[in-house]
Structure 1
């Protein structure tokens, strides 16, 4: 397993951005605000940051779209948000890019530069919205753009990107594959403090009771799993978000610290973990509800609760159901 710092990815792509006529779906993001660099993990043999196509996957709610926005902002490169654009097919990328650049053949012109990068997010939503033929033609257009010198960074879930990888590899594209993994121990407290202040600007994160409560929560959650997986589990964004929520909701931080530092507080750990899982399920339900509405389907018919739990288990545990 090869870990890659987010700053290393930014450095490898520095200077590959370019300005244009942005739209809501295709533009350089404005400064997205608070962000803590996550750890990226490269799949075996797929860590070449000079590759024509870079795939970026993540577990559910790990911050994939937020990472895409931050990366595009730092590079000053256009980010194509497919959830805001229904046009996915063979002509979609050439048309969107040419419109952005105000030219007829943007891919050909950009391909003559040392490096130009376009980021594409929400491949999962796009895949579910279009026919198999349109999807295949869309991936074919991405492959052709890569062959002509445009660097593409694609963000999606593992299952979608596996299909994309097979098609691009068959076409002979060079491919890197990174996963937004977790926040390292040194960044976890900064992430929690930032999330607390983002939600409540008046909140203080410097007082001893607050810091003791935060540290006790982290230690208790780390102690609820095996030592070998503690950092990746506690550093998972929804876990840190849950810690921030507890710190915001319960203002008696002295009591909170005592409660989680106590050896008898195991049931409370389970309560926090349950809240994390509940939040993940609700997040996926809200995304599916919007997709179902777009397709004219009943939201509760997209897939059953049992299927949703199986997908969640696959994302969290990396196991087949």
Structure 2
């Protein structure tokens, strides 16, 4: 999307204000509570605001954890339009009219819809993500179709509805609306600019009122931003805004800031420790500083001036105990059993009570959240939540790991890319993790908002007498490996994926991959590449997501199984399925030899070999330019038999593949690498290429 900027005021003008009659009819749905801490975001569009004609439905997409619900409420408040919150709702046929009638009464609901049709009101719809995940794509799609029928208006004037959600939710919403003939316009929430970021931190750091030592905070932020830009080699704010302008990072920074201490000295100490080679390591240090501060607060309060008792409190209220409480189902009921014996046994009597009292005001926890049964929904910030989950990936037992995974699967828990970023930062110190970690890493990566960030998970040892196979996950950013973690999985054991996979290579040919078990839908792509023994698709619907350049995703497997009965959209260019047999609804994605005599069996077999090899060269993890792939990695792939050695050697011998600076480049004449991927034998130049290969291979085999 071209970066045409739209301000919040311009968005308000596009949406338009509700009429007095509409506001009166929908009084119970009109937002009246102003938030003094609301920071007006900016937006991006593929067209200048002067060229945007927002009839039909306006779709606003945003990465995870940037405050879509706060934005929806403020948008509704400032325009006087009714807010429809889909959180926790069962949606489906006739949902919107039925819900409005229950909330407003039948006559008022009909009157409101009349105002919408007359372009005097707009429905602001929040929590589309939760509605899609919680109800499944079929019921969600039916509800969206119902909305389209309800607000069936032209393309002139303001939007009849505004829907906010993550990019994948907005993709699905747009698809359904467009199929229904409804006009849609899409914009994106931008990361904060520097002025917005400074204002955001001020409100958070000074308890929502913005009053505090402004100069000291401003100097601290200047230094922090300079550290990050230097670490990333960035010249401008926009080169680093996905970190310095990302709300969860800024929220954590505001919690970290303490005007009572020398924050510049602490930041300098963090910078000098060398943790800024990858800026997410800086966030880890910040979060650990906050946890350490909590330990000191407890020790001081518990000790009451007794140095021995203060030290004992420090030994008890450790980061490890805080993490355990943060992930406990019932933290106020969790027994506190420190490993260190107290010098005075009377300390035992007050320890547990004081630990629980200290935890009640923990900066990571939303106040009065004890009734929330899912601990991942109690956090004030997704950065804190994801740090705590990441810290559990190495030492949690199998049962506890599965419990955390199940909590992560809840529709109300929005996966963010922060978990993957923290877990695969060297500063986190994770080298060996439990096998469930792979599930969470893939889910977190699927929420990633940067195109140059890739997750690679692969078996690093061939099966042997040892039933467990080592699997390594590593983060690739801008073509460079950041960090990797290892786990061991028994051969044949299943690897579970939650709600989606994107920008990930999952190379586990000895294992079964289970996608979307227990979920209503599973999202595949953009740029998902799965190699496995069996691909079990266990959600009723599998949704294909396209990237900016529409490169396909790949599944190479011996067997496709599961309960999936619908793959949408059914476009063969979005998914290449490499397998011997397929059944409905997968057949359309498998390359099939054209009927008739135009393509011989030998040509088709050769095309399949080159399709498998071309698959690697079309990946997003490549550096920019001509199709290419790191030579050492490709040599390993060839050695494992995961690509055709004959096709590679032929291409090298004929000069189609050359090696330069440790990279193989694939240069073709008369057709593109995409022709190979699509096995497009209608291209006569490609057929001639295959005939050359067949002749070459025959000579190599001694055939006459």
Q: Distance in 1 between matches of 2:250 and 2:64?
A: 14
Contact 2:55 2:183 in 1 (8 A): yes
Per residue, is there more strand in 1 or in 2? Answer: 2
Q: 1:65-117, CA deviations, whole angstroms, 9 ceiling, x for partnerless residues? A: 11111111111111111114x23112221122334443442464224423311
Shift of 1:219: 1.6
Q: How does 1:199-218 map to 2 (within 5 A)?
A: 204-206=212-214, 208-218=215-225
Offset of residue 247 of structure 1? 0.9
Instruction: Classify 1:198/1:267 alpha carbon distance in 2 versus 1 (closer, same or farther; 3 Å).
Output: same
Task: Provide the rounded CA distance (Å) in 1 between the counterparts of 2:388 and 2:150.
Answer: 33
Deviations 1:186-236 (CA, angstroms, capped at 9, x unpaired): 22211111111226x696232x43332222112212222242522343111
Q: Which moved more, 1:157-166 or 1:310-319?
A: 310-319
- Which of 81, 85, 109 aligns to 1:81? It is 85
Superposed CA offset, 1:18-60 (max 9, x none): 324555xx54252133111112112569973523111111111
Give the match for residue 266 of structure 1: 274
Unaligned runs of 5+ in 2: 288-380, 391-403, 413-435, 454-502, 505-704
2:156 corresponds to 1:151: no
Change (3 A) 1:137 1:270: closer
Choose the corresponding residue for 2:443, options 303, 311, 315.
311
Q: How does 1:98-113 map to 2 (within 5 A)?
A: 98-104=101-107, 105-106=110-111, 108-113=113-118
Q: Which moved more, 1:244-253 or 1:72-81?
A: 244-253
CA distance in 1, matches of 2:57, 2:216: 47
Equivalences for residues 1-321 of structure 1 within 5 A: 1=2, 2-16=4-18, 18-19=22-23, 20-21=25-26, 26-43=29-46, 48=52, 50-84=54-88, 86-104=89-107, 105-106=110-111, 108-148=113-153, 151-198=160-207, 204-206=212-214, 208-227=215-234, 229-248=239-258, 251-256=261-266, 258-259=268-269, 264-267=272-275, 270-274=280-284, 275=287, 278-279=383-384, 281=386, 289=407, 292=410, 304-314=436-446, 315-318=448-451, 320-321=503-504
CA-CA distance at 1:164 after TM superposition: 1.2
CA RMSD of aligned residues (A): 3.5
Query: How far apart, CA to CA, are the structure 1 residues paired with 2:131 and 2:389?
Result: 15
Residues 112 and 293 (structure 1), Cα distance of their counterparts in 2 relative to 1, 3 Å cut? closer
CA–CA distance in structure 2, aligned partners of residues 121 and 278 of structure 1: 22
Q: Which is higher, the Rg of structure 1 or of structure 2?
A: 2
The secondary structure found in structure 2 opposite 1:248 is coil
Distance in 2 separating the partners of 1:108 and 1:38: 29
* Aligned equivalents of 2:442, 2:83: Cα separation in 1: 31
Q: Is the 8 A contact 1:146 1:173 kept in 2?
A: no
Conservation of the 8 A alpha-carbon contact between 1:9 and 1:49: no
What is the deviation of 1:245? Answer: 1.8
State whether residues 196 and 203 of structure 1, in contact with CA within 8 Å, keep that contact through their aligned partners in structure 2. no
Name stretches of at least 5 consecutive residues in structure 1 with no aligned partner.
Answer: 295-303
Q: Are the counterparts in 1 of residues 30 and 76 from structure 2 also a CA contact under 8 Å?
A: no
Residue aligned with 2:206, SS: helix
Q: Does structure 2 conserve the Cα–Cα contact (< 8 Å) formed by 1:281 and 1:308?
A: no
Contact 1:60 1:312 in 2 (8 A): no
Q: Secondary structure at the match of 1:182?
A: coil
Question: Judging changes above 3 Å, is the alpha-carbon distance between structure 1 residues 312 and 100 closer, same or farther for their aligned structure 2 residues?
Answer: same
Distance 1:136 1:284, change over 3 A: farther
1:57 touches 1:157 (CA, 8 Å); kept in 2? Answer: yes
Greater RCO (Cα-Cα under 8 Å, separation 6 or more): 1
Contact 1:259–1:265 (CA under 8 A) maintained in structure 2: yes
SS at match of 1:316: coil
Q: Distance in 2 between matches of 1:79 and 1:284?
A: 33
User: Shift in Å at residue 61 of structure 1?
Assistant: 0.7
Aligned length in residues: 306
What does the per-residue CA deviation read over 1:129-157, in whole Å, with 9 as the maximum and x for residues that have no partner? 22544222101112113314671111111
Partner Cα distance (1:122, 1:307) in 2: 24
SS in structure 2 at match of 1:88: coil
Q: Distance in 1 between matches of 2:221 and 2:52?
A: 38
> How far apart, in 1, do the equivalents of 2:119 and 2:27 lie?
22
Structure 1 length as normaliser, TM-score?
Answer: 0.80
* Inter-partner Cα distance in structure 2 for 1:87 and 1:229: 41
169-178 or 127-136, which deviates more: 127-136
CA distance in 2, matches of 1:217, 1:173: 46
Cα drift, residue 4 of structure 1 = 1.0
